[in-house]
Amino acid sequence: MNTIHLLLLTLIISFAPVAASAEENKGSSQAPNIIIIMTDDQGYADVGKFGAKGFSTPHLDRMADEGLRFTNWYVPQAVCGASRAGLLTGCYPNRINMLGAPGPSSRGGIADGEVLISEMLKDRGYSTALFGKWHLGHLRKFLPLQHGFDEYYGLPFSNDMWPYHPGVRHLSMEKRLKRWPHLPMIEGNEIINKEVSPEDQVGLTTSYTEKAVDFIARNRTKPFFLYVAHSMPHVPLFVSEKFKGKSEQGLYGDVIMEIDWSVGQILSALKRFDLADNTLVLFTSDNGPWLSYGNHAGSAHPLREGKGTTWEGGQRVPCIVRWPRRIPAGQACHTPAMHIDLFPTIQNIVGGKEPPHQIDGRDITALLTNPGEAKSP
């Protein structure tokens, strides 16, 4: 073998690992990944950077230090199902007839004609998944796989919609089941557990997190949309053994610390697969705290009231956005924005199609990338 051939062979061998790594982590060339993490009934002051007391949220605090914190982020309606409908469609819930929090007796759900973020991104070639609470209709035709999600694992509605609800605990099980049937766990389109138990709920946050990390690993070479919709800290509160008794705020604080751990696991996975710079991660809550549950509820301090009200404590929630490539670190945006703005913003970022009907949200890309100078759209 002559000297030139030997040199060429050496160069090929030397650059092979680099080429393989570039193929596996296309962060610099492909469309950005999108991750939305939503909690259930977490109050405005239930994150360290927003004034939490009695428990710590180091991963969320780090996410804020590395990204942008919205201090005036609003929900479209201060209740579970309606808020989620607004986030995923960019519409006020009233416009799309998704009001309140549909339960197991409801026959309605998100209409076929509505375009969800998942559908818009799937049309752009994204892999899509939801792990957690859906709450846009539990009948098969309303489930996530019929609305742009490739994968789904979670509860179809709130974790208190079961025969152990405090409002029926004094009744016999036979009478309870007439009001609140057993809570199902769904994977894809199929019920995999017909009777979710308290023991099952203990592992919800962990199972959602493990599936989210696995999804990231399996889709690291192509753009993906991951929606992690935690069932907690909606009552009844459950936490895994590894976080039980960890906070100074009782069970509620333990639950928030486990959710913070979950955020850390997702951020670590992005770093491990060299995806962090090219992934927009947004953390928020569906509405304010359910104050009637006392120390099993969070705090909206210094705001008035909580979930189910039109006061600030019900409508304003914590929101943190991290996207190292585009969002400056350690910033705070005081300009009002809300859940329904996510659809048009993500649409602009990825070059997605406009829905064939009117939506109500506004593109807030400028607020994300230039929070100090951009004006409200």
Instruction: Mark out the alpha helices in 183-226 (DSSP H runs).
Output: 198-202, 204-218
Could you confirm whether 59 is annotated as catalytic? Answer: no
Pick from 185, 181, 180: which is nearest to 133 by CA? 185
Active-site residue, selected from the candidate residues 80, 91, 319, 333: 80
Plot region of 250 (φ>0 → left; ψ -120 to 50 → alpha; else → beta): left
Among the listed residues 5, 59, 91, 135, the single catalytic one is: 135
Give yes or no for a contact between 175 and 145, defined as CB atoms under 8 angstroms apart.
no
**The residue type at 22:** A
Catalytic-residue membership of 135:
yes
Rounded to 10°, the helix 58-65/250-272 angle is 50
Q: How many CB atoms lie within 10 A of CB 21?
A: 10
Cβ-in-10-Å burial (0-12, 13-18, 19+) of 108 comes to middle
Sign of CA dihedral 234, 114, 33, 45: negative
Positions marked catalytic: 80, 135
